[in-house]
Structure 1
Amino acid sequence: MTSSCLYFTSIVSVWILTTSIASAFQSNHYNTKEPSLARSTSTTSTKKNLKTFERYLEIECWRHTELRELEPVLKSVAGSCKEINRIVQRAQTDDLFGAAMGADGLPLDDNIQGEVQQQLDVLCNTHMLRAFCGGGSSCIHSVASEEEDEPRCCSDVMTDSAFAVGDYIAVFDPIDGSKNIDASLPVGSIFGIYKKQPGSDVGEQTFLQDGGALVAAGYCLFSASTVLVLTLGSGVDGFTLDPDSGKFLHTLKDIRIPRKGSIFSFNEANYRGFSEPIKRYLKLLKEGTSKTGVSMTARYIGALVADVHNILINGGIYGYPGTTSNPKGKLRLLYECAPMGMIMEQAGGAASTGHKRILDVKPTEIHERTPVFLGSVENVFELDQFFQYDE
């Protein structure tokens, strides 16, 4: 071959190679689809065929006809959990931190706990009030919130007398562990539903029922995923919010807590104020001499819903005992301990004050506090023995 032919052939080869590279670059640079997605089609996850929360309620309320009135309310509560989830996710970007302001531009009065009302608390409380009182049914007569001084009739919440005819009352803590939000840690909402006492006016006395009278209880956990856990008095089920469909899907069916577990969740910063039975019990766990025969490990998140959910799934014990400065502890019986106690017992666990079953404790006022221990039967029983024999 002559030198001119070789030269021409080389030129053509370089031109073809350059054109191919440019074409490939343009295809990748301007194509709106990610090339990596196209290559990984075969490994794309497939959605499970899971029942929706709405379908679950339809079936359960068909099985338990006495609960049919509550179906639209519980659907509304699930919707409220979605809204609170959005609020929590936007707290950092939408400047939702800080004290809540009134129409006069001044901070709102402190709540019943003596705490400055925060924007997040007020927003979440409003969503829960509307969910229970205006949730497509008028079956909820009155509500009591951990954020408000006194119970409120739904006719007051909705400014319509038509909402004062229901046979049920609801209690809730709209946002538990809100101080975790600025560090992007888990928070939650807790609720319980009671039957209104027949033949009596609705006031604070109506709400002073023991946890054994609860008709339904649940919580929403806002964490790596958003989970709604519910009991209607015949077991416990959990639902995970699907970010694609925006629906709660039945991912945790008939939750059963292990009879004994390896996690203990106490705020040990309060250790010096704990009673001797609690100190001895914690010492036992740390020394590895628990009668359960399980090697224990400490986990404490600082939000009741998150800590209890961890115990519910994995087993163990959650405790918030009284201290020398706060003998009755920190947690409210009506809004937190009783609903969580019902959930724990319905999942096969136990709920105790250290001296008696949580669900047997009748509050004397709506914001009453109590020591509480929730978890696996064997773990809670072992702790109760320390109170029985050590005091």
Structure 2
Amino acid sequence: MVEPGKTKFQIDLRRHLREVGENRDLTRLICEIADASKYIVNSIRTGDLGVAGTSNLYGEEQLALDVLSDRILRKRLTNSGVVANMLSEETPDIIPVSSDYEGKYSVAFDPLDGSSLVDVNLAVGTIVSIFEGGNLLQPGRNQVAAMYILYGPRNTLVYSTGRGVHEFAMNALMEYTLVRENVTMSQAGGIYAPGGQRNLYSAGTEAFVQDLEARGAKLRYSGGFVPDINQILMKGKGIFMYPHLKNAANGKLRLIFELNPMAYLVEQAGGAASTGSVSILDLQPQSIEDRAPVFIGCKDDVARAVDFVTRMG
């Protein structure tokens, strides 16, 4: 909490973590990721927008910025002294860092989610999921922390360690200072961000979208997962969806790198995240490549989505 006599803009990330009672090693890890983001910001501003000539584990062509952002994060995590294993969306295997798991953390991350939007100057982000010990193939409910960094008109960092959701903004000195403590969501919202081709929606998803529109919900979709989730969280209302499609029963988004950390943050803010049948955070990953459909946002909106999908498919 902000001390009496101090403005929230005087509270930096490290101090905030200390004041909410977070342990030293997790504080160090989160701050290492925050420091890495400063170099990623510079890479976005000045780096090569071309392709790297390689592909990731999903067979997708990697951009030079993807590879550079991945290297920046991996180097910081390796040298942090508190990481057991790490897993990047850009690499095919879990990367061991230490054989001693005691008191250490395992980290899964998407170093530059939405990187294909950089060349048209739209917002992109870094997404991070943190577990205790050496096992990354756990249900998301076991996360001890999750965070994302949004590179947009302002660079902001949003994190939770199970003690609420907090937003920080990068200042002129490239330090993250507190903007909002304990971000919360309303029960229902008036905006929706629908991913995937609508003509491939199931009957239940299509009926849910029509219900949203009949209720006056406005479509707000950027094509980037981080900015769309950030919009819903910071406005405190709305729902994002990338549902099961007729040609993709598991949707598009990756459970470990994207859905688990965002579901953790949204639930910490009072929202919900579901596949349409079960909570995202209760899914047991079978492999690092797992994907799942998602409805994530205000509790009532997600509950209505689940109802439509359960009844109509």
TM-score normalised according to structure 2 size: 0.93
| Structure 1 residue 164 displacement after superposition | 7.2
Counterpart check, 1:140 vs 2:79: no
**Which residue of structure 2 lines up, in the alignment, with residue 52 of structure 1?**
12
Does the aligned pair in 1 maintain the 2:250–2:291 contact within 8 Å? Answer: yes
- List per-residue Cα deviations over 1:108-130 (Å, max 9, x = no partner): 3x211111222100000011112
| Structure 1 residue 48 displacement after superposition | 6.9
**Which residue of structure 2 lines up, in the alignment, with residue 42 of structure 1?**
none
| Structure 1 residue 152 displacement after superposition | 0.4
Does the aligned pair in 1 maintain the 2:146–2:262 contact within 8 Å? Answer: yes
SS at match of 1:337: helix
Percent of paired sites with the same residue: 31
**Which residue of structure 2 lines up, in the alignment, with residue 242 of structure 1?**
171
AA of the residue aligned to 2:193? S
- List per-residue Cα deviations over 1:171-223 (Å, max 9, x = no partner): 00000001110111000000011112xxxxx5xxx321000110000000001
SS at match of 1:259: coil
- Give the Cα separation in 2 of the matches to 1:321 and 1:228: 27
- Give the Cα separation in 1 of the matches to 2:303 and 2:189: 12
Q: 1:362 aligns with which of 272, 280, 284?
A: 284
Counterpart check, 1:111 vs 2:56: yes
Q: Which runs of 4+ in 1 moved over 6 A?
A: none
Counterpart check, 1:188 vs 2:129: no
Larger Rg: 1 or 2?
1
Q: Which gives a bigger RCO, structure 1 or 2 (Cα 8 Å, sep 6+)?
A: 2
AA of the residue aligned to 2:95? R
SS at match of 1:207: coil
- Give the Cα separation in 2 of the matches to 1:362 and 1:370: 11
- Identify the structure with the greater helix proportion: 1
Counterpart check, 1:263 vs 2:223: no
Q: 1:126 aligns with which of 71, 77, 93?
A: 71
Structure 1 vs Structure 2 CA RMSD: 1.7
- Give the Cα separation in 1 of the matches to 2:189 and 2:35: 33
AA of the residue aligned to 1:171? A
Does the aligned pair in 2 maintain the 1:139–1:165 contact within 8 Å? Answer: no
Counterpart check, 1:298 vs 2:298: no
TM-score normalised according to structure 1 size: 0.75
Taking structure 1 as reference, are residues 98 and 165 closer, same or farther at Cα in structure 2, changes over 3 Å only? Answer: farther
Listed as ranges, the matches of 1:148-159 within 5 Å are 148-154=91-97
- Give the Cα separation in 1 of the matches to 2:115 and 2:9: 34
Does the aligned pair in 2 maintain the 1:153–1:164 contact within 8 Å? Answer: no
Equivalences, count: 306
- Identify the structure with the greater strand proportion: 2
- Give the Cα separation in 2 of the matches to 1:341 and 1:111: 24
Counterpart check, 1:274 vs 2:201: yes
Q: Which runs of 5+ in 1 are unaligned?
A: 1-46, 101-106, 156-160, 197-201, 289-294
Does the aligned pair in 2 maintain the 1:211–1:361 contact within 8 Å? Answer: yes
Counterpart check, 1:90 vs 2:27: no
- Give the Cα separation in 1 of the matches to 2:93 and 2:128: 16
- Give the Cα separation in 2 of the matches to 1:144 and 1:246: 26
| Structure 1 residue 259 displacement after superposition | 1.6
- Give the Cα separation in 2 of the matches to 1:133 and 1:257: 35
